[in-house]
Amino acid sequence: MESNQVIRALAALAQESRLAIFRLLVQSGPSGLTVGKIAEHLNIAPATLSFHLKELTFASLLRSRQEGRFVFYMANFAVMNDLLGFLTANCCGGIPCAPAATCMGISLEGGEPMDDKVFNVMFLCTHNSARSLMAEAIINNPSVNRGRFHGYSAGSNPPGKPNPFAVKQIRDVGLPVDGVRSKAWDEFVKPDAPRMDFVFTVCDNAANEVCPVWPGQPVTAHWGLPDPAAAKGSNAQKRQAFAEAYRNLSNRILLFASLPMDKLDKLSLRKKLEEIGLQ
């Protein structure tokens, strides 16, 4: 992120109402809010609200979309994360920091070394019924995570139940299926939810599948995969599609779990994760 972009964004936020608007839209997630809902929440006059929305949009902190006669505004999480990355670059001597003000190597309050830290890992996709569920099962396998990671999964538009082929694939490789469920990502952004250290999106951009955007400061990467639930043909062909997706996810997660976290700065770590996503 260039310095002039940072200055413009910080200047836009250096006003009480605009700061409140931006924080409200961050909390509302990628679906955003209508102008009327924003005004209702913050009790800002329409003309004043319109001015502040334009200022935040000019600073690239907000995006908007038209749905019928309604205009929705949402936080631009990519720019927000870039801004946070710029402000925290080389923090703690270049050691990447976890969200809860704790360095990934040494706690700022003198806590345990990173080797003893358990990292929370989130896998995101649209439905949380197949790919992300299988990824969650893989990383929660003790032989994979070796006590270093705890996996979660969620979706932006979950159907409420897992794909039966995904459940069968998990069961067929000997992993437990108890607790496997399709769930919305906003379940994990509540104040009492676990804080994520890593977030991986597994949506297929090639199929114009829209990935959810995760707020906050976890290390993120895109590990796009074709949706096995979209496979056509016989049940045997569908099972093959799920097996292939599982194999790809397993390979990537094994590479991720083997990374020397204590020897990589944040930029190097993100580069490694992006490289894994391209394999």
Domain count, the chain: 2
- Binning pLDDT at 50, 70 and 90, where does residue 70 land? confident
Per-residue pLDDT, 88: 74
Cα–Cα nearest to 199, from 209, 182, 183, 211: 211
Of 34, 54, 76, which residue constitutes the final position of a domain?
76
Q: What is the CATH number of the domain that holds 134?
A: 3.40.50.2300
Of 36, 51, 76, which residue constitutes the final position of a domain?
76
More confident residue, 7 or 112: 7
Q: Are 260 and 160 part of one and the same domain? A: yes
Q: Are 217 and 245 part of one and the same domain? A: yes
Q: Are 189 and 266 part of one and the same domain? A: yes
Q: Are 187 and 125 part of one and the same domain? A: yes
Cα–Cα nearest to 23, from 215, 190, 168: 215
> What is the C-alpha separation between 214 and 259, in angstroms, rounded?
23
Residue reference for tokens 């016989």: 234
Per-residue pLDDT, 207: 55
84 within domain boundaries: no
> What is the C-alpha separation between 95 and 98, in angstroms, rounded?
10
Per-residue pLDDT, 169: 96
The total of other beta-carbon atoms located within 10 Å of residue 103's CB is 18
Range of the domain at 152: 90-278
Q: Positive or negative CA dihedral for 269, 270, 271, 272?
A: positive
Q: Are 139 and 243 part of one and the same domain? A: yes
Per-residue pLDDT, 205: 65
What's the whole-number mean pLDDT along residues 46-74? 91
Q: Are 39 and 97 part of one and the same domain? A: no
Residues near 53 by beta carbon (within 8 Å), at least 6 away in sequence = 21, 35, 38, 62, 64, 73
Q: Are 149 and 12 part of one and the same domain? A: no
What's the whole-number mean pLDDT along residues 228-253? 95
- Binning pLDDT at 50, 70 and 90, where does residue 107 land? very low
> What is the C-alpha separation between 96 and 111, in angstroms, rounded?
16
Question: pLDDT, tens digit, for every residue of 9-23?
Answer: 999 999 999 999 999
For the chain, what percent of residues have pLDDT higher than 70?
86
Q: Are 62 and 169 part of one and the same domain? A: no
Cα–Cα nearest to 7, from 77, 86, 94, 89: 86
Q: What is the CATH number of the domain that holds 42?
A: 1.10.10.10
Lowest mean pLDDT among 7-21, 59-73, 139-153: 59-73
Q: Are 160 and 243 part of one and the same domain? A: yes
